[in-house]
Structure 1
């Protein structure tokens, strides 16, 4: 299997090369658990197809987590990679340790569970899923350093860390001879808080990659719900109750949706691709994104995003309209 050539970037200060878009695998949770039930259950056959098409289109990394279906997403991803039947050594895996009600020692003690769920595949990026646990940032990073030293993981990252916690994590790893590769946070044209709270600035200063999750605000930026609000009634899970899906949310975001549609026509692409392209280019190479995919056409959208670059004028114009609508604090 030969992947379509796409531009690759360094993951943080590491030599690991990643595509500007990875595939978010939360949807692979099989509907299990409270977190997994956010999405409708997917058939493994569909998951296999989505993973294969992503790889063929040049997307070379997949982001999953322990808490996604209590390991079901990891298992589904591994099964999909195995089903391809060809060499998938270039497929990189990012997963996450769930810290709530646990101590830092669990990071090293439970790594075998993560590897087993992934059917023995290498963990290229291991992340602390969120900052709330029974242990400090320093103790957690010391445990991550042990995994790095023992070759259990290739790179260490965090998720949902603010600027100060991210800096502390990086400094602690540096004391151990390593560095923080990434911070996975919510970021989109409608949620730009990391630009004002210092998170993005610290990431740029320290060479840490920002991994943007929910880059399309659960699909709102696609514009399909603005054109046909009745689609919201058929959404499975709690997504339909989020503020952007309410009538006032649709009305507020309409000017941005209109601009995305205008640019989509100009570049002969989709609104989704415009929104994602802005995200991965507006801040140079600092920001990458992990849109999900529950259908083949979602994968095609993701792949197409990597085939063009918005002009500076268009990036700036989208930025200007976004600033009038987005959440900054």
Structure 2
């Protein structure tokens, strides 16, 4: 039985591992271009493996293929016999180049794309907008009070913006339940820029996206660098994927492999488990999956517990990524 975690100061309970659905974008648009288009039966297999392994929530977004990911998720869940209330669904509104008024104007499209599944968590996808944090937060609170969404989150918000959104929503009697941030052993900036500390103080859940650093923490690219050249999208050009970046992360990868072997696990599972354990219940993770076996590996993390010494060793080897 998977022990669930409370989503911020809401009544919603999440499995520590969710499924990120960015890769369901069908290769459409700027965001979707990071991934090859997946056949519908593959999407269903990924969702099925996630559900069977104990995952109870899914994170998607308007920007993921302009609604294509939302529709693909809804279709897969429906085909698998899931009904409204069986799972928790999170999506996001994309703010640029829009104003806060578009939050209310586009919500019916979000509801339609995800139908029949309700929006349990609606998030502001980026901090860049033509409106203030106050205006956007009030527009989200309007949706909660109209019964169109259950809770409000943000994504990629600095400590200052997160605190501002929290304060505006609090005046409306609505909690800010989450801040979705890029967070992995190869990107620990939220630990040093105030975001993690503020989240703990305010009771806000950190939803870690790219928790495997787009696959780097699996170790497969360190074993065979030629795999990078065959990747679809711009990942191959990121500094972490270049030779110098790979050598910098190699000691950490070797330690993840060592710990994984001791547990009969994989380096990816160890990397995810560290995120879930090191900060108590504050962090949940949303790794993606493009194959059923990826989803099965993700959910296997739920059965892994690292020792205090293992947590410390990993911490020490990834300190320079803070």
1:142-195: CA deviation from partner (whole Å, max 9, x where unpaired): 111111111111110000000010001011000001110000011100101101
**1:115 counterpart = 2:111:** yes
Partner Cα distance (1:127, 1:89) in 2: 19
1:221 to 205, 210, 217: 217
Normalised to the residue count of structure 1, the TM-score between the two structures is 0.96
Q: Give the match for residue 204 of structure 1.
A: 200
SS of 1:110's equivalent in the other structure is helix
Task: Could you list the structure 1 runs, at least 4 aligned residues long, displaced by more than 4 angstroms after superposition.
Answer: none
For structure 1, the 5+ residue unaligned runs are: none
> Mapping of 1:1-329 within 5 angstroms?
5-87=1-83, 89-324=85-320, 326=321, 328=322
Residue 86 (structure 1) shift: 4.6
For structure 2, the 5+ residue unaligned runs are: none
1:54-98: CA deviation from partner (whole Å, max 9, x where unpaired): 111110000000000111000100110111125463211000000
Residue 252 (structure 1) shift: 0.8
Residue 209 (structure 1) shift: 0.1
RMSD: 0.9
Partner Cα distance (2:278, 2:15) in 1: 16
Partner Cα distance (1:149, 1:133) in 2: 23
SS of 1:106's equivalent in the other structure is helix
Normalised to the residue count of structure 2, the TM-score between the two structures is 0.98
Query: Does the aligned pair in 2 maintain the 1:26–1:36 contact within 8 Å?
Result: yes
Query: Does the aligned pair in 1 maintain the 2:84–2:117 contact within 8 Å?
Result: no
Query: Does the aligned pair in 2 maintain the 1:100–1:134 contact within 8 Å?
Result: yes
Residue 53 (structure 1) shift: 1.3
Query: Does the aligned pair in 2 maintain the 1:35–1:69 contact within 8 Å?
Result: yes
